């Protein structure tokens, strides 16, 4: 694989402007392109996209439909009917083939467009500098010469050369196969250490790079061209395909029995052969794969309309089985809009901050005896250090824009510190960059839980600024403070955390020379104090967790915050019932490492966890047979998101790595959207089962009618064309319309379906037999009554059997008078109209061998249809009672 990367780099479209700028300073190159130049290059070079799948031409779709085994059987039947001179049946069979093929192709195209639209919505984005400003653009619009701004969790959108790097570590395993991340350094000299490849992942640090190759000319593009990336069927589609094969074998076997019985009764071989073939085709729901594909794709589109973007169709079916929802805290259960409300310093005491959001507007009030200049000076020192040790920015509201509030660019916690510093009268980061330029840094990571930056000072020495979790900073090997001060700070941090605050400790110190590494400067520092940051719970979070429990889903909180903070928030939201006992019911990452938690599935709140422990928690629940959904937003959440049955990433504040690893992306970062997606998943699965019940019950009835009819004195109950016409009207638009049925009223008040449950389980096959038997008995009774009076019994049977199936489809609706899916009653009305046309239009009467019926025959068929409706409603009530008793 490494050779492939080298070849791609050698033959890629290198940016000519970069070749001419080998001696140009990085500062000049970092300005980026103008909008006009970027547009020109996009037109010349094409989009930065890899062609993973080629569009399927229309003729290939048609041929694929015609290669279906059932369609091929019908083609053989046409040859047979032409050979025996049965031209009427030949016309009907040909019409059925044309309609089925057309419907199948249309459904494929619709599903393909739905999936393509989802792919476009989930396309990755890139942060670039154009015209001297920063912006986010779709990765497909990146062009050679663009300046990329990369941070932890970003996926490199194109091949590039580093102009600037700070502790940059890149995972290139997806290209090279090397599992160890690679350190990258800036340089335009062609060294591999300064080269970035499309598709690789920034796991730590920051970088500024200039794009050299895009699209198919990038390393990823050349390798992807060699791969087969055709979409694979989902597990449900595979299970239904296997079920279809079993049903086909059973149907063929029963039709052979019918064929033999017909020959024994003296029927012509050709007639019986065509009729048996038609019956086999009608008995198997051949439109099931297309209905399933369309239901999954349209379900995903509906989820996208509810702010849940599905990246893999398999997730649609899995969502209905979710039993455990593992969620993080910040931005998911809480607002994610951090506000510094208190600052504590060892000597100056405590300060209280007013204001909301990220607007740098508010007051600072010193508490008690600390209300002097010394106290305020300590607060300003702490916030100045927090501004220097900071990679975020505050963005004011744009004039004329819909948003009227300040927003954060970067980490919300760091943005809150910037707002607090502005309220306290500290200098901004822009003002501090000149006298205190950053020389080096050690970025924050989830293991060390702290960040360190090194700055030159006007006095000629180096200023070390550090901030992080209290337990990572308030340590003797980091701070040069008396034990009494450290104990006091730890006590204060615990008190603030118990009140629900997120607490950061800040320290600084000076060095005479620049340390070899920032980590080597993390000792002998002076404690500046603690910042207590409030992140209020979302108004809907408590109800969302309650809705989860009502749907049989167990919510679990996994956070990196302090145990007291996690416990306080969990108790406030009802995740823990007893607020006073909350700290005792929270498991920490340290306890997990020490093996002090014997069963991870007994715990509902985990605090101070690392990414490996998130994996352990997910695996523990899965080992118990649960289906897990897990939320995440950071680069370190990627493995857990992949391990969970449903990985859920945040669309606004999540990293690109998290979004690409997830099955579901929340475009609004709302946990309630996961519940809405679960509801849609249950809707899709219920509709597929409803179609299966309807189609199999109809097919069962048709076989039973053909087998039992001769024994009751009806020699050939239905002709081949009549069977296929019934199949066309019931499995065509009417069957497809069932996939758009609204969600059942009680869908979110019942437990999730077991993941291993058979598609015909939970009483479905019993209902198939019940409805099939009722439809058979009623239809044959109508035919026998007509035959006893010397009427056209075959036409009565034809109309009654079709009416009974249309009655069943209406009776299976959860909401009889719903306006959410008017397509279904319209399809039923259209099918009924075409059924009547088969009896009264001369052309159709000729090819279908039907006779016109009087009011008595039509009324009898309508009564059979009403009976099918009643039987379907009765089966629903019995099934609902059974579910309630089992639930």
Q: What is the pLDDT of residues 482-516, one digit of tens each?
A: 999 999 999 999 999 888 898 999 999 999 888 87
Residue 234: both structure tokens together: 């989902």
Q: Is 162 left (phi over 0), alpha (psi -120 to 50) or beta?
A: beta
Tally of helices (H runs) and strands (E runs) in the chain: 32, 25
> What is the spatial distance between Cα 649 and Cα 654, in angstroms, rounded to a whole number?
6
Distance from the Cα of residue 873 to its chain's centroid: 35
> What is the spatial distance between Cα 288 and Cα 692, in angstroms, rounded to a whole number?
8
**What is residue 784's predicted lDDT score, i.e. its pLDDT?**
94
To the question of pTM greater than 0.75 for the whole model, the response is no
**What is residue 27's predicted lDDT score, i.e. its pLDDT?**
57
Residue 598: both structure tokens together: 């014997």
Contact 547, 748 (CB under 8 A): yes
Dihedral sign computed on CA atoms, order 556, 558, 564, 570: negative
Residues with Cβ within 8 Å of residue 533, at least 6 apart in sequence: 338, 339, 340, 341, 413, 416, 501, 502, 503, 504
Q: pLDDT exceeding 70 applies to what percent of the chain?
A: 80
Residues with Cβ within 8 Å of residue 1, at least 6 apart in sequence: 175, 176, 177, 223
Confidence band for 300, pLDDT divided at 50, 70 and 90: confident
Q: Read off the pLDDT of each residue in 251-271 and give the average, rounded to a whole number.
A: 75
- Count of other CB atoms within 10 angstroms of residue 260: 12
Q: Read off the pLDDT of each residue in 574-598 and give the average, rounded to a whole number.
A: 75
Angle at 689 between CA 684 and CA 693, to 5 degrees: 150
Contact 668, 651 (CB under 8 A): yes
CATH superfamily for domain 339-534: Calcium-transporting ATPase, cytoplasmic domain N (3.40.1110.10)
Residue 618: both structure tokens together: 């997910």
Q: Which of 566, 519, 591 is nearest to 204 (CA)?
A: 519
Fold of the domain built from segment(s) 2-48+142-224: 2.70.150
> What is the spatial distance between Cα 724 and Cα 744, in angstroms, rounded to a whole number?
32
Angle at 670 between CA 667 and CA 673, to 5 degrees: 80
The winner for highest mean pLDDT among 57-71, 116-130, 236-250, 304-318 is 304-318
**What is residue 744's predicted lDDT score, i.e. its pLDDT?**
85
Contact 342, 350 (CB under 8 A): yes
> What is the spatial distance between Cα 533 and Cα 535, in angstroms, rounded to a whole number?
7
Q: Where are the beta strands (DSSP E) in 113-183?
A: 125-130, 133-138, 147-150, 159-171, 182-183
- What mean pLDDT is reported for the chain? 81
Between 859 and 295, the higher pLDDT residue? 859
- Count of other CB atoms within 10 angstroms of residue 864: 29
State the DSSP code for 56.
P
Please determine, for residue 457, whether its predicted confidence score (pLDDT) is greater than 90: yes
Q: Read off the pLDDT of each residue in 27-38 and give the average, rounded to a whole number.
A: 76
Q: Where are the beta strands (DSSP E) in 485-633?
A: 502-511, 526-534, 554-558, 586-588, 605-607, 628-632
> What is the spatial distance between Cα 89 and Cα 721, in angstroms, rounded to a whole number?
5
Confidence band for 435, pLDDT divided at 50, 70 and 90: very high
Confidence band for 2, pLDDT divided at 50, 70 and 90: very low
**What is residue 810's predicted lDDT score, i.e. its pLDDT?**
93
**What is residue 35's predicted lDDT score, i.e. its pLDDT?**
83
Q: What does the pLDDT look like over 36-73, one tens digit per residue?
A: 888 888 888 888 876 555 567 777 777 777 776 656 66
Which of 249-253, 399-403, 618-622 has the weakest average pLDDT?
Answer: 399-403
Q: What does the pLDDT look like over 210-234, one tens digit per residue?
A: 988 888 777 666 655 544 444 556 5
> What is the spatial distance between Cα 389 and Cα 436, in angstroms, rounded to a whole number?
11
User: Which part of the chain has CATH 3.40.1110.10?
Assistant: 339-534
Integer Rg of the chain from CA: 34
Residues with Cβ within 8 Å of residue 150, at least 6 apart in sequence: 127, 156, 168, 196, 202, 206, 207, 208, 209
User: Which part of the chain has CATH 3.40.50.1000?
Assistant: 308-333+538-669
Confidence band for 451, pLDDT divided at 50, 70 and 90: very high
Contact 564, 498 (CB under 8 A): yes
Q: Read off the pLDDT of each residue in 183-193 and give the average, rounded to a whole number.
A: 75
> What is the spatial distance between Cα 689 and Cα 172, in angstroms, rounded to a whole number?
44
Q: What does the pLDDT look like over 824-836, one tens digit per residue?
A: 899 899 999 999 9
**What is residue 118's predicted lDDT score, i.e. its pLDDT?**
46
Stretch (H or E) spanning 9: helix 2-11
Contact 161, 212 (CB under 8 A): yes
Q: Is 686 a catalytic residue?
A: no
**What is residue 288's predicted lDDT score, i.e. its pLDDT?**
67
Phi, psi torsion values for 166, nearest 5 degrees: -135, 105
Please name the residue ranges forming H helices in 230-287.
Answer: 235-264, 269-283
Spot the catalytic one: 146, 328, 561, 637.
328
**What is residue 9's predicted lDDT score, i.e. its pLDDT?**
40
Please report, for residues 49, 144, 219, 399, the alpha-carbon distance to residue 46 in angstroms, rounded to integers and kept in the order given.
Answer: 8, 10, 16, 34
> What is the spatial distance between Cα 573 and Cα 562, in angstroms, rounded to a whole number?
17
Confidence band for 375, pLDDT divided at 50, 70 and 90: confident
Please determine, for residue 285, whether its predicted confidence score (pLDDT) is greater than 70: no
Please determine, for residue 664, whether its predicted confidence score (pLDDT) is greater than 90: no
Q: What does the pLDDT look like over 555-566, one tens digit per residue?
A: 999 988 888 888
Confidence band for 846, pLDDT divided at 50, 70 and 90: confident
Which of 681-690, 706-715, 874-883 has the weakest average pLDDT?
Answer: 874-883
Fold of the domain built from segment(s) 58-116+232-305+677-886: Calcium-transporting ATPase, transmembrane domain (1.20.1110)
> What is the spatial distance between Cα 481 and Cα 491, in angstroms, rounded to a whole number?
15
Confidence band for 720, pLDDT divided at 50, 70 and 90: confident
Q: pLDDT exceeding 90 applies to what percent of the chain?
A: 23
- Count of other CB atoms within 10 angstroms of residue 821: 18
Pairing of strands 554-558, 605-607: parallel
Helix then strand then coil, in percent of the chain rounded to 5, is 50, 15, 30
Which of 226-230, 601-605, 713-717 has the weakest average pLDDT?
Answer: 226-230
Task: Determine the length of the chain.
Answer: 887
Residue 866: both structure tokens together: 């009403």
**Best CATH choice for the domain 308-333+538-669 from the list 3.40.50.1000, 3.40.50.10420, 3.50.50.60, 3.40.309.10:** 3.40.50.1000
> What is the spatial distance between Cα 208 and Cα 27, in angstroms, rounded to a whole number?
11
Please determine, for residue 308, whether its predicted confidence score (pLDDT) is greater than 50: yes
Residue 365: both structure tokens together: 């009030």
Residue 32: both structure tokens together: 């980026």
> What is the spatial distance between Cα 679 and Cα 710, in angstroms, rounded to a whole number?
47
> What is the spatial distance between Cα 770 and Cα 510, in angstroms, rounded to a whole number?
84
Please report, for residues 337, 584, 595, 608, 609, the alpha-carbon distance to residue 605 in angstroms, rounded to integers and kept in the order given.
Answer: 22, 10, 16, 10, 10
Q: Residue 487: how many CA atoms within 13 Å on its side-chain side? A: 3
Q: What does the pLDDT look like over 721-760, one tens digit per residue?
A: 888 788 878 877 787 788 788 888 888 888 888 877 787 8
């Amino acid at each position: 694989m490494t050779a492939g990367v080298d070849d791609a780099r050698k033959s890629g479209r290198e940016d000519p402007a970069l070749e001419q700028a080998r001696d140009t300073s990085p500062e000049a190159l970092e300005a980026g392109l103008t909008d006009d130049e970027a547009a020109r290059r996009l037109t010349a070079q094409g989009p930065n996209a890899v062609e993973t799948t080629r569009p399927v031409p229309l003729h290939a779709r048609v041929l694929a439909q015609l290669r279906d085994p059932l369609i091929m059987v019908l083609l053989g039947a046409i040859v047979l009917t032409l050979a025996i001179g049965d031209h009427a049946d030949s016309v009907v069979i040909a019409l059925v083939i044309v309609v089925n093929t057309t419907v199948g192709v249309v459904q494929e195209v619709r599903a393909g467009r739905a999936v393509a639209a989802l792919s476009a919505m989930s396309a990755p984005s890139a942060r670039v500098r154009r015209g001297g400003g920063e912006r986010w653009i779709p990765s497909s619009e990146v062009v050679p010469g663009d300046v990329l701004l990369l941070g932890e969790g970003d996926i490199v959108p194109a091949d590039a050369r580093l102009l600037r790097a700070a502790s940059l570590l890149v995972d290139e395993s997806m290209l090279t196969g090397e599992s160890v991340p690679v350190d990258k350094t800036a340089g335009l000299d062609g060294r591999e250490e300064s080269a970035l490849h499309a598709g690789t992942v920034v796991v730590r640090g920051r970088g500024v790079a200039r794009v050299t190759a895009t699209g198919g000319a990038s390393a990823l593009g050349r390798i992807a061209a060699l791969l087969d990336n055709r979409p694979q069927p989902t597990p449900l589609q595979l299970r239904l395909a296997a079920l279809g094969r079993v049903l086909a074998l059973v149907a063929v076997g029963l039709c052979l029995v019918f064929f033999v019985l017909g020959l024994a009764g003296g029927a012509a071989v050709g007639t019986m052969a065509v009729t048996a073939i038609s019956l086999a085709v009608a008995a198997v729901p051949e439109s099931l794969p297309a209905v399933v594909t369309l239901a999954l794709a349209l379900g995903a589109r509906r989820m996208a309309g509810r702010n849940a973007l599905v990246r893999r169709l398999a997730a649609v079916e899995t969502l209905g089985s979710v039993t455990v929802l593992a969620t993080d805290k910040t931005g998911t259960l809480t607002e994610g809009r951090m506000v510094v409300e208190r600052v504590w310093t060892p000597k100056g005491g405590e300060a209280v901050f007013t204001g909301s959001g990220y607007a740098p507007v508010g007051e600072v009030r010193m508490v008690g005896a600390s209300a002097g200049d010394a106290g305020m000076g300590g607060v300003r020192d702490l916030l100045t250090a927090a501004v220097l040790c900071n990679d975020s920015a505050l963005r004011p509201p744009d004039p004329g824009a819909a948003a009227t509030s300040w927003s954060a660019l970067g980490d919300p916690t760091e943005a809150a510190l910037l707002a607090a510093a502005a309220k306290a009268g500290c200098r901004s980061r822009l003002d501090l960059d000149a006298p205190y330029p950053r020389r080096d840094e050690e970025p924050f990571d989830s293991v060390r839980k702290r960040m360190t930056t090194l700055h030159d000072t006007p006095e000629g020495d180096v200023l070390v600024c550090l901030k992080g979790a209290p337990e990572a900073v308030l340590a003797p090997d980091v701070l040069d403070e008396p034990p009494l001060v450290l104990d006091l700070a730890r006590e204060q941090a615990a008190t603030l955390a118990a009140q629900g605050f997120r607490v950061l400790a800040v320290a600084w110190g000076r060095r005479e020379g620049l340390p070899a590494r920032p980590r080597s400067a993390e000792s002998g520092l002076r404690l500046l104090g603690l910042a207590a940051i409030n992140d209020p719970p979302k108004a809907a979070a408590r109800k969302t967790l309650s809705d989860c429990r009502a749907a049989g889903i167990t919510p679990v909180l996994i956070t990196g915050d302090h145990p007291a903070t996690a416990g306080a928030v969990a108790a406030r939201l009802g995740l823990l019932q007893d607020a006073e006992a909350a700290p005792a019911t929270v498991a920490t990452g340290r306890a997990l490492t020490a093996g002090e938690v014997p069963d991870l599935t007994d715990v509902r709140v985990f605090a101070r966890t690392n990414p490996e422990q998130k994996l352990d928690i997910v695996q523990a629940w899965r080992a118990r047979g649960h289906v897990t959904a897990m939320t995440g937003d950071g680069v370190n959440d990627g493995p857990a998101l992949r391990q969970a049955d449903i990985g859920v990433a945040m669309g606004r504040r999540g990293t690109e790595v998290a979004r690409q690893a997830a099955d579901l992306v929340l475009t609004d970062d709302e946990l309630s959207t996961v519940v809405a997606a679960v509801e849609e998943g249950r809707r899709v699965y219920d509709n597929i089962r409803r179609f299966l019940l309807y189609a199999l019950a109809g097919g069962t009835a048709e076989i039973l009618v053909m087998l039992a009819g001769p024994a009751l004195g009806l020699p050939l109950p239905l002709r081949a064309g009549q069977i296929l016409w019934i199949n066309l009207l019931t499995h065509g638009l009417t069957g497809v319309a069932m996939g758009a049925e609204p969600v059942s009223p009680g869908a979110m008040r019942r437990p999730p379906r077991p993941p291993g449950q058979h598609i015909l389980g939970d009483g479905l096959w019993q209902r198939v037999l019940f409805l099939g038997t009722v439809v058979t008995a009623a239809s044959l009774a109508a035919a026998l009554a007509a035959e006893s009076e010397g009427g056209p019994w075959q036409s009565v049977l034809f109309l009654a059997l079709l009416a009974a199936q249309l009655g069943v489809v209406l009776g299976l609706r959860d909401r009889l008078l719903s306006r959410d899916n008017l397509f279904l009653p319209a399809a039923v009305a259209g099918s009924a109209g075409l059924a009547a046309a088969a009896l009264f239009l001369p052309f159709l009467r000729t090819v279908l061998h039907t006779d016109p019926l009087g009011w008595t025959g039509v009324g009898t068929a309508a009564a059979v249809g009403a009976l099918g409706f009643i039987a379907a409603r009765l089966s629903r009530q019995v099934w609902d009672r059974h579910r309630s008793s089992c639930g």
